[in-house]
């Protein structure tokens, strides 16, 4: 092409670009998306043919297109695939740079599933570079996401790699536990490739531990699967391990046979790898291409030199320009390498911080789930203990039985307090405690708490003293329940550690700004006191003075931790002063808003209201699988002149509701067969009006939305307060009778 024709071509291209219709832009975007998908598929085909470098080349072309159209999701996927292929061909440094870029993109768009795949790939790269502990973290992180999203095969691959990392770290016990899980689940789900690899690794561990029978059995099974799959890598691995097992057993013939098979397979795999374009060969071809270009340019220069001296001058200038551009390109290349290395370091640090954060979140979530399960399991039998004890105390027991029953009631109440304390701590740590402000009389509130605890104080021969600052108003707007909890814990603590002494409770005003008063609550005793060494840890969970003190005085060691959490929620401060043998003082500083007195509403007795209703035709269904709890609930209802039917599973409950017109259903949640949630959903499919209460011991804070979606009218938490149960039942029955008469 002559120089003039070239200029004409460039001019036409520019003109076309300027007049290109704008309404075709969207079509171009769709076309580009199709090109991206096609490019990824083509690269996959090249990968299946073991043309790894060709696949990388195609993916790099697709990557440029994703960056052009700002398709972040596909950009992350393509970078991850490039990193995996670079890992396969042993370019670990390049693979690490690519995978860090992929993770950065996927974090930015919150692409959780593909992020897990990238982390799994990063783990494989670290494993290949002998960074085993770091690889272990990535495998665990990716496995957690795979399991959460139900990606079973990927989760098993991550578990298998986790076991491999543990093998490298000589953690054979942990590796065996993981491999047992993989072997069982891969066989169940027919993931034969994973199953064969897990069997081989199990055989390798058994060989290292000297368990030759197990080593032979597991590796032979792995070999059988590998032969069926015709997988050269697995066959090589199986034969390598078997050769060592037979050698250890003393069977030299089979050892040599397996070793020869291993060598043959190894040679075949190396041959296949050599057939692919290596980085060195690629560099040689690039250099050869450059030499050819230079030679052609030299021939052209010679021809042009012969034509005219002017052309020779132009050629010299062109060569000079190319040289300058080459130097600039080299400089940019070096600068880009420095920038990439710096970014690489930053990405790695960010990723490490993110991994630590995720591990902490997983641990916190595990703890919350554990506490929720444990409290449910404790509340269910506790419902039976407290219910039966109250029933026996109301049934005129013999005089010599009363003290035993009261002791049993005390133990049940103590256990319930302990469970509630654990739940309170869990809620505070999870930031799930909300403020519930209301107008109340502070002076009366403190007096009531002191009066409630006075009997316990008298048992220890303690005198209680109360002082209220005359400058301080009495009525405030605040969360009186949390203030009561703080006082109960602090005064109860003083009573527990004081004998034959005094306790002073003081409420004083520190300062005032408009209607906001900063008050100080002080609880002082002259009890045993606390050593200076122990004072720093007194507000931590399960912290007491010593094991001996715990044994002697009892308690859970959660009281002061709860107080500290509640004070923080109320935006206050807490501090203490104590001297061993002389006593302890706790100081709470809280901001409270002054308010006006409101009229008190008299507490309503719903048990009397229920007795006035027409209860002859009232039908109640109790769905409860625990026989003791069935008996207790029925007894409580009978005392209220209410009859009920009992059923112990969700399926039968649905059928009973279909056949009988009930006024109220009391539904347990955890039962054999379908749960109470599922049973309620089925009932709501044909009866939208029936009143259904969840009678349950589960922790409610995290389940409210689930109960609402299932269709429950309300929740009664076990063990429940009698007055709460009566109120909810009365309101439900009143509503039903009003609607029936309308």
DSSP track, 319-372: HHHHHHHHHHHHHHHHHHHHHHHHHHHHHHHHHHHHHHHHHHHHHHHHHHHHHH
| Element holding 388 (H helix, E strand) | helix 309-394
pLDDT for res 488: 87
CB-based contact 616:370 (threshold 8 Å): no
The listed range with the strongest mean pLDDT (323-327, 640-644, 697-701) is 640-644
- Token pair of 372 as six digits: 């929720």
Query: Looking at the predicted structure, is the pLDDT value of residue 644 above 80?
Result: yes
Give dist(CA 85, CA 55) in Å, integer.
8
Around Cβ 63, how many Cβ atoms within 10 Å?
21
Residues 498 and 640 in one domain: no
Structural tokens at position 286: 């690039």
pLDDT of residue 516 exceeding 80: yes
Task: Indicate if 588 and 635 belong to the same structural domain.
Answer: no
**Greatest Cα pair distance in the chain:** 131
Q: Is 714 helix (H, G, I), strand (E, B) or coil?
A: strand
H helical segments located in 570-696: 606-612, 627-639, 650-659, 676-684
- Using CA atoms, how far apart are residues 457 and 464, in angstroms rounded to an integer? 7
Give the range of the structural domain holding residue 420, as residue numbers without chain letter: 384-429
pLDDT for 424 beyond 80: no
φ, ψ for residue 210, nearest 5 deg: 80, 10
Q: What does the pLDDT average to over 115-119?
A: 88
Give the mean pLDDT of the chain: 78
Last residue of a domain, one of 99, 131, 163: 131
447 and 587 in a single domain? The answer is yes
Residue after which a domain boundary falls, among 375, 399, 429: 429
Residue 465 pLDDT more than 80? yes
The two three-digit tokens of residue 397, written as one number: 């027991």
- pLDDT tens digits, 173-189: 888 889 988 898 888 88
Candidates 514, 510, 453; CA nearest to 485 is 453
CA 582 to chain centre: 47
Maximum mean pLDDT: which of 37-41, 105-109, 321-325, 466-470: 466-470
Q: Which two tokens stand for residue 385?
A: 């203990």
Per the CB < 8 A criterion, the answer to whether 63 and 74 are in contact is no
Instruction: For residues 425 and 562, give the distance between their C-alpha atoms in angstroms, rounded to a whole number.
Output: 6
> In terms of pLDDT, which residue wins out, 505 or 415?
505
Sole residue written with tokens 């027991």: 397
Task: Give yes or no for residue 306 having a pLDDT over 60.
Answer: no
In whole angstroms, what is the distance from residue 115 CA to residue 358 CA?
13
Would you mind telling me the total number of residues written for the chain in this entry? 742
- The reported pLDDT for the residue numbered 542 is 46
Spell out the residues 6+ positions from residue 139 whose beta carbon is closer than 8 angstroms to its own.
120, 123, 158, 159, 161, 162, 165
In a domain, 177, yes or no: no
pLDDT at 1: 45
For residues 679-694, give the mean pLDDT: 92
Q: Do residue 578 and residue 466 come from a single domain?
A: yes
Q: Answer yes or no: is 89 within a domain.
A: yes
Q: What whole-number distance in Å separates Cα of residue 680 and Cα of residue 675?
A: 9
Residue 304 falls inside a structural domain: no
Q: The CATH number of the domain where 112 resides is what?
A: 1.25.40.10
Please state whether 87 falls in left (phi above 0), alpha (psi between -120 and 50) or beta: alpha
587 shares a domain with 456: yes
| Tally of domains in the chain | 5
Distance between CA atoms of 169 and 126, rounded to whole angstroms?
13
**CB-based burial, 343-366: b 16+ in 10 Å, e otherwise:** eeeebeeebeeebeebeeeeeeee
Whose CA is closest to 423, among 374, 494, 361, 365? Answer: 374
Coil, strand, or helix at residue 538?
Answer: coil
Digit-coded pLDDT (tens) for 121-171: 988 899 888 888 888 888 888 888 888 888 888 988 899 999 989 999 988
Tell me how far apart the alpha carbons of residues 153 and 182 are, in angstroms, rounded to a whole number. 10
512 and 629 co-located in one domain:
no
Contact 604, 614 (CB under 8 A): no
Q: How confident is the model at residue 422, as a pLDDT?
A: 65
Q: Is residue 230 classed exposed, middle or buried when 0-12, 13-18 and 19+ CB atoms within 10 A define those classes?
A: exposed
Identify any residues that bridge with 117 across adjacent strands, giving them in sequence order.
Answer: none
Question: Does a cis peptide bond (omega within 30 degrees of 0) precede residue 44?
Answer: no
Same domain, 572 and 682: no
Q: What integer pLDDT is reported at residue 286 of this predicted model? A: 45
Q: Is the confidence at residue 515, as pLDDT, over 90?
A: no
453 with 580, same domain?
A: yes
Do both 418 and 523 map to the same domain?
A: no
Rounded CA separation 567/483 (Å): 9
User: Which range among 37-51, 308-322, 652-666 shows the weakest confidence by mean pLDDT?
Assistant: 308-322
Does one domain contain both 572 and 693?
A: no
Whether residue 412 contacts residue 460, with contact meaning beta carbons closer than 8 Å, is answered with no
Pair (455, 581) in one structural domain: yes
* pTM greater than the 0.85 cutoff: no
Spell out the residues 6+ positions from residue 642 whose beta carbon is closer than 8 angstroms to its own: 610, 615, 618, 620, 729
Give one word for 554, left, alpha or beta, with left for phi > 0 and alpha for psi -120 to 50: left
One-letter-per-residue 3-state SS of 93-105:
HHHHHHHHHHHHH
- Pick from 19-28, 60-69, 225-234: least confident: 19-28
State which of 60-74, 131-145, 498-512 shows the largest mean pLDDT: 498-512
Round to whole Å and give the CA distance between 99 and 125: 9
Same domain assignment for residues 588 and 617: no
CB 523 within 8 A of CB 503: yes
149-152's contacts with Cβ under 8 Å and 24+ in sequence apart are: 149/112, 149/113, 149/116, 151/113, 151/116, 152/185, 152/189
Residues in contact with 578: Cβ distance below 8 Å, sequence separation at least 6, in sequence order: 529, 530, 535, 584, 585
- Give the E-state strand segments of 404-498 in sequence order: 438-441, 463-468, 475-478
Query: CA torsion sign, 469 to 471 to 475 to 476?
Result: negative
Going by their DSSP bridges, the two strands 691-696 and 664-667 should be labelled as: parallel
**For 423-443, b where at least 16 C-beta lie within 10 A, e where not — what string?**
bbbbbbeeeebeeeeeebbbb
pLDDT of residue 295: 52
Higher pLDDT, 150 or 383: 150
DSSP state of 660: S
Confidence of residue 400 (pLDDT cuts 50, 70, 90): confident
Lowest mean pLDDT among 2-16, 17-31, 379-393, 525-539: 2-16
Helix H or strand E segment including 511: strand 502-513
Sign of CA pseudo-dihedral 259, 263, 264, 268: positive
Residue partners of 614: CB distance under 8 A and separation at least 6: 737
Work out the pLDDT band at 588, boundaries 50, 70, 90.
very high
Residue 374 included in any domain:
no
Tell me, what's the pLDDT at 293?
Answer: 41
In a domain, 642, yes or no: yes
* pLDDT average, residue stretch 247-270: 85
Gap between the Cα atoms of 106 and 23, Å rounded: 32
Per-residue pLDDT reduced to its tens digit, 228-250: 888 888 888 888 898 898 888 88
φ and ψ of 557, to 5 deg: 75, 15
The answer as to whether 550 is a domain residue is: yes
Q: Which of 228-242, 364-378, 386-400, 590-604 has the highest mean pLDDT?
A: 228-242
Strands 583-594 and 438-441: unpaired
| Higher per-residue confidence, 409 vs 545 | 409
DSSP state for residue 464 in the 8-state scheme:
E
pLDDT, position 710 = 86
CB 68 within 8 A of CB 32: yes
In degrees and rounded to multiples of 5, residue 327 shows phi and psi of: -65, -40
Mapping DSSP to helix (H, G, I), strand (E, B) and coil, where does residue 441 land?
Answer: strand
Kindly state whether residue 422 falls inside one of the protein's structural domains: yes
CA separation for the pair 555, 633 (Å, rounded): 31
Assess whether pLDDT exceeds 50 at residue 13: no
Residues forming a β-bridge with 573 = 589
Residue 313 has pLDDT above 80, yes or no: no
Strand ranges, E, within 551-600 = 573-579, 583-594
Stretch (H or E) spanning 513: strand 502-513
Q: Judge whether 377 and 415 are in contact, CB under 8 Å.
A: no
**92 lies in some domain:** yes
Three-state DSSP at 473 gives coil
Listed residues 131, 162, 183: the one ending a domain: 131
Domain at 676, CATH number: 3.40.50.2300
């Amino acid at each position: 092409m002559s120089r003039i024709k070239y200029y004409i071509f460039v001019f036409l291209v520019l003109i076309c670009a300027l007049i290109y219709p704008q309404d075709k832009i969207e079509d171009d975007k769709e076309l580009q998306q199709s090109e991206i998908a096609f490019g990824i598929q083509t690269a996959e085909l090249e990968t299946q043919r073991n043309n790894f470098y060709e696949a990388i080349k195609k993916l790099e072309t697709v990557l440029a297109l994703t960056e052009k159209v700002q398709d972040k999701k596909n950009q992350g996927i393509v970078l991850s695939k490039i990193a995996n292929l670079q890992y396969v061909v042993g370019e670990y440094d390049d693979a690490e740079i690519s995978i860090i870029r992929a993770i950065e993109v996927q974090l930015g768009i919150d692409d959780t599933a593909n992020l897990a795949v990238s982390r799994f790939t990063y783990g494989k790269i670290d494993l290949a570079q002998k960074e085993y502990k770091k690889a272990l973290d990535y495998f665990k992180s990716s496995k957690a996401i795979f399991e959460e999203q139900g990606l079973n095969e990927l989760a098993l691959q991550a578990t298998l790699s986790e076991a491999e990392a543990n093998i490298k770290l000589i953690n054979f016990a942990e590796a065996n536990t993981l491999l047992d899980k993989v072997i069982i689940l891969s066989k169940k789900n027919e993931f034969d490739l994973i199953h064969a690899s897990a069997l081989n690794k199990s055989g390798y561990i058994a060989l290292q531990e000297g368990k030759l029978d197990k080593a032979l059995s597991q590796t032979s099974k792995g070999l059988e699967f590998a032969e069926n799959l015709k997988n050269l890598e697995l066959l090589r691995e199986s034969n390598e391990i078997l050769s060592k097992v037979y050698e250890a057993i003393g069977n030299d013939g089979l050892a040599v046979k397996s070793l020869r098979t291993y060598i043959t397979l190894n040679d075949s795999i190396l041959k296949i790898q050599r057939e692919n374009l290596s980085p060195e060969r690629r560099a040689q071809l690039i250099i050869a291409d450059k030499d050819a270009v230079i030679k052609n340019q030299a021939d052209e220069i010679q021809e042009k030199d012969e034509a005219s001296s002017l052309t020779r001058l132009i050629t010299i200038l062109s060569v000079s320009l190319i040289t300058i551009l080459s130097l600039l390109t080299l400089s940019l290349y070096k600068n880009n390498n420095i920038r990439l290395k710096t970014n690489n370091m930053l990405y790695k640090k960010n990723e490490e911080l993110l991994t630590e954060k995720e591990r902490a979140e997983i641990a916190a979530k595990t703890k919350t789930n554990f506490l929720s399960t444990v409290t449910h399991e404790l509340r269910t039998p506790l419902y039976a203990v407290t219910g039966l004890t109250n029933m026996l105390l109301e049934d005129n027991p013999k005089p010599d039985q009363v003290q035993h029953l009261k002791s049993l009631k005390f133990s049940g109440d103590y256990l319930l307090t302990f469970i509630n304390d654990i739940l309170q701590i869990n809620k505070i740590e999870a930031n799930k405690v909300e403020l519930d402000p209301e107008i109340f009389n502070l002076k009366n509130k403190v007096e009531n708490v002191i009066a409630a605890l006075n009997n316990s104080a008298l048992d220890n021969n303690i005198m209680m003293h109360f002082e209220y600052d005359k400058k301080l108003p009495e009525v405030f707007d605040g969360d009186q329940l949390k203030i009561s909890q703080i006082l109960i814990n602090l005064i109860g603590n003083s009573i527990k550690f004081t004998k034959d002494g005094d306790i002073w409770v003081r409420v004083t005003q520190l300062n005032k700004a408009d209607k906001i008063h900063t008050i100080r609550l002080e609880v002082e005793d002259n009890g045993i006191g606390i050593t200076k060494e122990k004072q720093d840890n007194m507000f931590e969970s399960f912290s007491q003075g010593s094991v001996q003190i715990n044994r002697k005085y009892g308690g859970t060691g959660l009281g002061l931790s709860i107080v500290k959490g509640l004070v923080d929620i109320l935006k206050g401060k807490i501090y203490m002063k104590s001297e061993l043998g002389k006593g302890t003082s706790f100081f709470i500083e809280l901001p409270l808003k002054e308010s006006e007195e409101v009229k008190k509403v008299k507490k309503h007795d719903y048990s009397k209201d229920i007795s006035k209703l027409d209860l002859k035709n009232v039908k109640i269904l109790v769905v409860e699988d625990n026989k003791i709890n069935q008996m207790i609930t029925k007894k409580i209802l009978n005392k209220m002149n209410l009859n009920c039917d009992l059923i112990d599973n969700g399926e039968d409950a649905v059928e009973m509701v279909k056949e009988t017109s009930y006024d109220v259903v009391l539904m347990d949640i955890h039962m054999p067969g379908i749960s109470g949630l599922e049973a309620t959903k089925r009932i709501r499919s044909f009866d939208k009006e029936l009143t259904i209460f969840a009678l349950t011991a589960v922790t409610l804070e995290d389940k409210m939305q689930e109960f609402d979606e299932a269709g429950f009218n309300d929740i009664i938490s076990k063990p429940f307060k009698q007055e709460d149960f009566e109120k909810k039942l009365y309101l439900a029955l009143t509503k039903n009778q009003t609607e029936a008469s309308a």
